[in-house]
Structure 1
Amino acid sequence: MYAVGIRVQVNFETPVDWTQTYIICPNHTSFLDISVLTFLCKTPFSFMGKEELLENPIARIFFETIDIPVKRDSKISSFKAYKKALEILHDRKSLVIFPEGKIDDNYPPVLHPFKPGAFRLATDYNIAILPVVIQDAWKILWDDGKKFGSQPGVIHVNVLAPIETKALGKDNVMQLEREVYNKMKDSWDLYNKS
């Protein structure tokens, strides 16, 4: 990314123990989010993403690293993806799941409600959530449905403190989802006010 004038500035709320396994939950505003996470993560990890991204030749360039494709409208695909995610987590690899489920269609983007999958996995298997807030990637590589373009710039990343799930169970999925959403929204709003 540096070769094309893109820089990444990372702020860690607390130090991250990269020897731990996490479900990494970033917001999603640009195709660049994948590259940012590759730059950020100092541990082996896999992505979970929608299968349709692999059908688009341009998007495929960015999403070839997706290890778990999911066909969103298929219960069979969702079940297979869940099983594959368990294998990855069992092998002590972290897993990146974009809880919004897609890149925002709005410009400027907002943080949309989360889907429960990442939080269900986290509570079922006591895996800590690592919330990541990516800012400004949409300004550097954009596709608003009418125009597609790019420019050099700085992507700001705020890695929030990991949220432990060891004391949580299946009844706490929505509570965990709200907690992660609220922390990410606070970080998003604080950055965008400045």
Structure 2
Amino acid sequence: MNRMRWVFSYLSSLISGFIFRFNFEEKVDWSKRYIICANHTSNLDITAMILLVKRNYVFFGKEELLDNFITGIYFRTIDIPVKRESKISAFRAFKKAGEKLKDGKTIVIFPEGMISEHYPPVLQPFKNGPFRLAIEQGVQILPVTICNNWNLMWDDGKRYGTSPGICDICVHAPIDTANLTAEDADDLKNKVYEIIANQLEVQQQRKQ
């Protein structure tokens, strides 16, 4: 199903005029499991992650994606939906995510938990869950900065339209969690937030 998702995403983005350009701080060892944490400003972000990952993976995302015909197929089968307002739903979803990691899968998550309502978008505070899970499972965090997708299509494109172009994605060096404890989760969260925030600032300075 992930192969089918890749083919559909590649062809649809190519036809629509979106080209995804990945910049790697270092080569990613795709034989390892990761929790991939990326900022979220556009529906194009999902396509970016699909094209990035080179191993079996699942998305962790909002329950509303069940209502979409395409994403609904995946979130009813391999992906993990979560009701954002429900602590019980979040607990069950992260428990399932832990099981997926134990099965050897990578988890893709947008730790902001939402697309910013501000335009231009502002990086929102990160949720704690992904970072606690990474420490519990001893899995590396792979931070990803999605630099300019919002310029081409903010959110679903309904309010400001869409514009074909190059989507720049920065894949940072993985962060090891092997020697961390539950008490380090906040520091890990802040570290990933700063990495992404700093890259977004660099991107903005290049545009000026």
Give TM-score scaled by structure 2 length: 0.86
Find the aligned partners of 1:14 and 1:77 in 2 and give their Cα distance: 36
Contact 1:8 1:154 in 2 (8 A): yes
Aligned to 1:98: 110
Aligned to 1:65: 74
Aligned to 1:16: 28
Q: Check if 1:131 corresponds to 2:143.
A: yes
Give the aligned residue type for 1:176. L
Find the aligned partners of 1:9 and 1:145 in 2 and give their Cα distance: 20
1:155-170 mapped onto 2 (5 Å cutoff): 155-170=167-182
Inter-CA distance 61–138: structure 2 relative to 1 (3 Å threshold):
farther
1:1-194 mapped onto 2 (5 Å cutoff): 1-55=13-67, 57=68, 61-62=70-71, 64-66=73-75, 67-143=79-155, 147-194=159-206
Q: Which ranges in structure 1 are unaligned for 5 or more consecutive residues?
A: none
Instruction: Give the superposed CA RMSD.
Output: 1.7
- Percent of aligned positions that are identical: 47
Find the aligned partners of 1:13 and 1:49 in 2 and give their Cα distance: 26
Could you say which structure has the higher strand fraction? Answer: 1
Residue 63 of structure 1 and its aligned partner are, at CA, apart by 6.2
Contact 1:21 1:94 in 2 (8 A): yes
Residue 104 of structure 1 and its aligned partner are, at CA, apart by 1.4
Residue 170 of structure 1 and its aligned partner are, at CA, apart by 0.4
Aligned to 2:6: none
Give the aligned residue type for 1:65. Y
Q: More deviation in 104-113 or 34-43? A: 104-113
Inter-CA distance 145–159: structure 2 relative to 1 (3 Å threshold):
closer
Could you say which structure has the higher helix fraction? Answer: 2
Give the total of aligned pairs: 191
Find the aligned partners of 2:72 and 2:131 in 1 and give their Cα distance: 23
Deviations 1:124-154 (A, max 9, x none): 1111000000122112223489715212111
Q: Which ranges in structure 2 are unaligned for 5 or more consecutive residues?
A: 1-12
Contact 1:6 1:153 in 2 (8 A): yes
Give TM-score scaled by structure 1 length: 0.92
Q: Structure 1 stretches (4+) deviating beyond 4 angstroms?
A: 143-146
Inter-CA distance 64–34: structure 2 relative to 1 (3 Å threshold):
farther
Aligned to 2:8: none
